[in-house]
Chains A and B, each alone.
Chain A
């Protein structure tokens, strides 16, 4: 195996490595000059750049950051950084992207971010781009006011005037089929028997809950006090009850008093009266009560009404 001594190259190893370091340094410096976002990243990594944090109950954290989170960070955050712009934390927002800062504190008019979010919807450069949920005019106003007030990470929420109200978007609870099954398990047998005997009267309010609604109105006069008593085993799950037009009388007062989960009760056109109304005092969750066409009188209803229960059919204006 022929082995040659080291051939002589142009440079010694240390000198070469020095050159490499120099060239690399120049390359990085050039990149930093050409790409501000890269420059910031380098400064951040070497600890040379301050990374201001937003205070938790600042205006930014309460109103601006959620807007960015909802409308922007799928393309300007952890997954992707289009135009090398991150919008998922205050320091990055301030830092800007490939073409420099997108926010000029105190000057919304020259802030590229404001320009982009106020472009007409069809424009190529409009942000968020077509297909993404757009910012509402109120959202744009919030951002503009924040920039105009100095784009601060610490300014408290109350310090900026004229801000549109925060509209809470509707959210849907998590579906929990397993949990629902568990909560319904204790009722399962009773529900099965009652559904067989009284089809369609008791039903779960939704597929995500174990709360029940009891609707006997369609049964009319065939539904009696005895029938209502049959539903007592479900007493702490029934939230709505419609007994309109049934044959219920004051004899059901006791049974009704046990329906502690009840929120809505309709007794329209039944032969119930004040005895039943007094029994309802025990129902702390009751919110709506209809007594049109019953024998209930004003004085008996007064305590409920005072408690804040909305009562229909007592003859008084609601």
Chain B
């Protein structure tokens, strides 16, 4: 697949649409899940969580077969590389995620996935329980509910760290990361020369999303 022909003089496209849509949907859904649980709208919480699950599954698949910058192979690096990157003050340019942010992405994905999965088995002590709660004993369901509560705090902490890190790049290093995640385009100066980004076909994204939804539906029934 050729690189984006719509590239302008000083900006090139680095993030594909599915990845960007995914990112902001997650933001909205995590917030919605939090709000609905807090206020007791458990049905909304349930649907929000299930949508999150589908999106996370999608992202896992997309990370294997999506655009270059979306693939795990692009931004997952061994720990020494992460440390080296941090030590170097972030000098090295990357088209997509740098090693440190790659680690952040994985951490967030993992924690969100854990949250959704524990939520499937949880219960609220009264009339509400997750779709898979009946598959386990009450004790296990209660324990997973507890873990669900603990992981929420971890999510809060990671989100804080994520926002602080993005803010650091923006305010201290002058590198706006939010705009590219909305428009998909980074300044050429921020992207290494000769970065070859291949964009996957949108139809593949749709297909993957449908497959993820199907998996979720299967879990439910």
Direct A–B touching, Cβ under 8 Å: yes
Stretch at the interface among B49-57, B172-180, B213-221: B172-180
Decide yes or no whether B126 CB sits under 8 A from chain A: yes
B171 & A79 in contact (Cβ 8 Å cutoff): no
Q: Nearest chain-B residue to A79 (Cβ)? A: B142
Q: A2-B93, A3-B92 are in contact. Are A80 and B173 (CB under 8 A)?
A: no
Bound complex: CA of A296 vs CA of B203, how far in Å? 101
Stretch at the interface among A9-17, A179-187, A309-317: A9-17
Bound complex: CA of A8 vs CA of B175, how far in Å? 9
Residues of A within 8 A of B (CB): 1-4, 6-13, 16, 19-20, 24, 74-75, 78-82, 129, 131-132
Q: Nearest chain-B residue to A7 (Cβ)? A: B174
B173 & A9 in contact (Cβ 8 Å cutoff): yes
A20 & B167 in contact (Cβ 8 Å cutoff): yes
Q: A1-B92, A79-B142, A80-B124 are in contact. Are A7 and B171 (CB under 8 A)?
A: no
Q: A7-B173, A11-B172, A79-B145 are in contact. Are A16 and B167 (CB under 8 A)?
A: yes
Decide yes or no whether B2 CB sits under 8 A from chain A: no
Bound complex: CA of A10 vs CA of B167, how far in Å? 11
Bound complex: CA of A80 vs CA of B123, how far in Å? 9
A9 & B171 in contact (Cβ 8 Å cutoff): yes
Bound complex: CA of A66 vs CA of B146, how far in Å? 22
Bound complex: CA of A37 vs CA of B100, how far in Å? 35
A2 & B146 in contact (Cβ 8 Å cutoff): no
Determine the chain A residues whose CB is within 8 A of the CB of B189 once the complex forms.
4
Q: A9-B171, A24-B160, A131-B126 are in contact. Are A2 and B145 (CB under 8 A)?
A: no
B175 & A10 in contact (Cβ 8 Å cutoff): no
Using a CB-CB cutoff of 8 Å, which residues 144-167 of chain B contact chain A?
145-146, 149, 160, 164, 167
Bound complex: CA of A20 vs CA of B169, how far in Å? 13
Using a CB-CB cutoff of 8 Å, which residues 122-154 of chain B contact chain A?
124-127, 142-143, 145-146, 149
The 13 sampled A-B contact pairs (Cβ below 8 Å) are: A1-B192, A2-B192, A3-B93, A4-B93, A4-B189, A8-B174, A9-B170, A9-B172, A9-B174, A9-B175, A19-B171, A75-B124, A80-B145
Bound complex: CA of A154 vs CA of B26, how far in Å? 50
Q: Nearest chain-A residue to B187 (Cβ)? A: A7
Bound complex: CA of A79 vs CA of B140, how far in Å? 11
Decide yes or no whether B168 CB sits under 8 A from chain A: yes
Determine the chain A residues whose CB is within 8 A of the CB of B171 once the complex forms.
9-11, 16, 19
Determine the chain B residues whose CB is within 8 A of the CB of A12 once the complex forms.
172
Q: Name the residue in A2, A3, A16, A80 with the highest tally of chain B Cβ atoms < 10 Å from its Cβ.
A: A80
Shortest beta-carbon contacts, A-B, top 3? A9-B174, A75-B125, A7-B174
Determine the chain A residues whose CB is within 8 A of the CB of B92 once the complex forms.
1, 3
Q: Name the residue in B160, B170, B172, B174 with the highest tally of chain A Cβ atoms < 10 Å from its Cβ.
A: B172
Q: Nearest chain-A residue to B92 (Cβ)? A: A3
Decide yes or no whether B193 CB sits under 8 A from chain A: yes
Determine the chain B residues whose CB is within 8 A of the CB of A16 once the complex forms.
167-168, 171-172
Bound complex: CA of A24 vs CA of B160, how far in Å? 9
- Per-position binary interface string of chain B over residues 105-129, scored 1 when its CB falls under 8 Å from any chain A CB and 0 otherwise: 0000000000000000000111100
Determine the chain B residues whose CB is within 8 A of the CB of A74 once the complex forms.
125, 142
B164 & A131 in contact (Cβ 8 Å cutoff): no
Bound complex: CA of A232 vs CA of B69, how far in Å? 87
Bound complex: CA of A131 vs CA of B125, how far in Å? 10
Q: Nearest chain-B residue to A129 (Cβ)? A: B126
A78 & B146 in contact (Cβ 8 Å cutoff): yes
Bound complex: CA of A79 vs CA of B144, how far in Å? 9
B71, chain A: closest CB distance, angstroms: 21
Bound complex: CA of A258 vs CA of B3, how far in Å? 100
Determine the chain A residues whose CB is within 8 A of the CB of B160 once the complex forms.
24
Bound complex: CA of A12 vs CA of B172, how far in Å? 6
With A7-B175, A20-B167 given, name 10 new contacts (CB 8 A).
A3-B92, A4-B91, A4-B189, A6-B89, A6-B173, A11-B172, A13-B168, A16-B172, A79-B142, A80-B149
Bound complex: CA of A146 vs CA of B189, how far in Å? 71
Q: Nearest chain-A residue to B160 (Cβ)? A: A24
Determine the chain B residues whose CB is within 8 A of the CB of A2 once the complex forms.
93, 192-193
